[in-house]
Amino acid sequence: MRKTVRTVLAAAALTAGLVATTAPATAATAQGTPYLPGVLRPSVSQATQDAALAKYYDFWKKNFLTTKCGTGTYAVKAPDADHAFVAEGQGYGMTIAAMMGDKDSQARTIFDGILKFVKAHPSSIDKDLHAAEQNESCKSVNGVDSATDGDLEIAYGLLIADKVWGSTGSVNYKSEALRIIKAIKRSEVNSSTKFMRLADWADDGKYINSSRSSDWMPGHLRAFEKVTGDSFWGQVRTRQEQAVTQLQQQYAPKTGLIPDFVVNTNSTPKPAPADFLEGKDDKYSYNACRDPWRLGVDGITVSGSPAQGQVKKMNTWIQQTTGGDPAKITTGYTLSGSKISGESGQHPCFTASFAIAAMNDTGSQAWLDKLWTRVTTWTPNATDYYGTGITVQVLLILSGNYIAV
């Protein structure tokens, strides 16, 4: 069994093998997927948006990419997790590098280097999936098994790479993506319930009918269905869309928030109990904080997506509860909207993610602009890989540089 514990801002700064930012990103015109009519964007120039993206991307490269794990290898360091390298970090790195492919001459080298690291560390349960955690010595640890969020992102990053660079070079990105997508279906989806499992190890006991809400990425599942021609992925997406609506109606009618973990997926899904796997598992915490982003991007790119209405609920509530002041967004909430006892301060996971929800609501331009200012004036922290990686991906979307497959 494996879990990732957030120790945000508690680890030492990175050292060995960090990548110098010798080729900073350029503030070129956005090259991303067109958004639906009516989708909001920040009320600043495109050049300003691209410059903000370039600033945070360069910080991410300088502070979280390392070459210490082997010749030709790159890896994303995670000083705020319980091990030095975690699967979601490699997935984030691949997605970020592929989407920056037209802005950074190093992007493809970085992407291929992370892929090399991923392939060098297979899960002991399903060799086509990535072992979720490695230590400072770049050795797989803690069960040498997978984490679904990492594999979903790695596969999606490969599909973006195929779209950006094609698959005629030294790496066939599409073939690699198809291999991993097949393994995700085989080992990380409950074929009976059509819910994502937590990992390839989560196949019995209390875990077999559980799921992580931040793994419910409708855009990724649409891409998997498109590239494979397999309607199974559409069934998974539909089931999870239904679950979001049901959880909002039954457990969070005021806020629209959904919990970090969900159980009872074989009947009527409900929030997991506290300490189910990581701690505040019944609450909107450091996993579910990604939900407005993961759902919201589907709402701005796919006509008729249920995600649009789902994140509008979250957006309406967070504006009201903060009085329209993003500085009052805190690090986690109960599903009823109360602040979590013992939590204080802010983290980009929460603040930045809500900006994508705001893009879905035509009446929220002023609120989106405040969120933009808050996100882009945030001083990134060299020990917070999680917050920085999410900020870069949110800025890719806000700036119009997001690439949907």
Q: Which residues, given as ranges, of the chain have pLDDT below 70?
A: 1-31
Residue 320 included in any domain: yes
Q: For residue range 282-299, what is the model confidence (pLDDT) as tens digits?
A: 999 999 999 999 999 999
The tokens for 228 are 């494979």
Count: domains in the chain? 1
Residue 59 phi, psi (nearest 5): -65, -45
Catalytic site residues? 88, 149
Q: Are strands 75-76 and 65-66 parallel, antiparallel or unpaired?
A: antiparallel
To the nearest 5 percent, what fractions of the chain are helix, strand and coil? 45, 5, 45
pLDDT at 32: 86
Residue 156, domain CATH: 1.50.10.10
- Say what the pLDDT of residue 12 is: 32
Q: Smallest Cα–Cα separation from 160: which of 396, 350, 399, 376?
A: 396
Q: Which of 400, 399, 405, 391 is nearest to 56 (CA)?
A: 391
Q: What is the maximum span of the chain, computed from C-alpha positions, in angstroms? A: 53
Is 248 inside a domain boundary?
yes
361 in a structural domain: yes
| Structure confidence at residue 352 (pLDDT) | 98
Residue 156 neighbours by CB under 8 Å, 6+ apart:
91, 95, 177, 217, 219, 220, 223, 405
Interval 175-229: pLDDT, tens: 999 999 999 999 999 999 999 999 999 999 999 999 999 999 999 999 999 999 9
Q: Is 24 a domain residue?
A: no
Assess if residue 39 is contained within a domain. Answer: no
Q: 12 in a domain, yes or no?
A: no
According to the model, what pLDDT value does residue 16 have? 45
CA proximity to 373, closest of 343, 351, 349: 351
Q: Is 234 part of any domain? A: yes
pLDDT of residue 344: 83
Alpha-carbon distances of 193 from 145, 236, 312, rounded to whole Å: 22, 8, 27
Q: What pLDDT is recorded for position 13? A: 30
Distances (CA, A) of 5 to 13, 37, 82, 134, 372: 18, 40, 5, 14, 28
Q: For 47-94, how does the pLDDT look when each residue is reduced to its tens digit (9 = 90+)?
A: 999 999 999 999 999 999 999 999 999 999 999 999 999 999 999 999
Classify residue 40: in a domain, yes or no.
no
* pLDDT value at residue 1: 36
Q: Which domain holds residue 241?
A: 46-398
Cβ atoms of 74 and 65 closer than 8 Å: yes
